[in-house]
Amino acid sequence: MLEALLLLLFGLVGGLLDNEAVLAVAIPLLCFLMGLQNATITKISGARIRTTHMTGVVTDIGIELGKLFYWNRRSLGSDGHFVRADRGKLRLLAAILSAFTLGGVAGALAFSRLGFVSTVPLALVLLVLARAMIRAERRGAGSGESAPEPDRSASQPTPSSSTSKTSVALGGMTPPAPRAP
């Protein structure tokens, strides 16, 4: 919600101010917004995804492609290890990189033609999505339902309902279970 409101403020006020005044405020504000987005996605994904820089994403794509094209000489290696790519993760990373690239090009084109106001539609979409998530969380909290605790003795822990929602939002990737202190 905070990110949406700040982005909306940036888009509405940016066109009204002198260019030098805007730069003095816009650059730190945009840096804060990128950090806020990165922190949010990092928290949601269990520290598996970063969204404000693509070097890690490209590195992870390279690792998964290396695994994908690796030729396992035997059905199992000498240590019993079989190299296999995580195709779901590869698809997710490729989608993130594609969205980042397309968004950067579209944003540059829109800003060059429309200026700061080009961020207003994005801020409004983000605001609608944030409100929907807040309402959904309030309904879940108000119903008295609590997420089931995973069975720690099982080899495959059962994800809580919030983890399942996160898994769907992350293209099937499930964040790791929280560690006990």
Task: Kindly report, residue by residue over 79-128, the tens digit of the pLDDT.
Answer: 667 888 999 999 999 999 999 999 999 999 999 999 888 999 989 998 99
Distances (CA, A) of 168 to 60, 70, 92, 159: 20, 29, 11, 12
The pTM for the full model equals 0.61
**Residue 79: how many CB atoms within 10 A of its CB?**
5
Domain locations in the chain as residue ranges: 2-136
Q: What is the DSSP letter of 72?
A: -
How far is residue 78's CA from residue 97's CA, in Å, rounded to a whole number?
Answer: 36
How far is residue 42's CA from residue 51's CA, in Å, rounded to a whole number?
Answer: 8
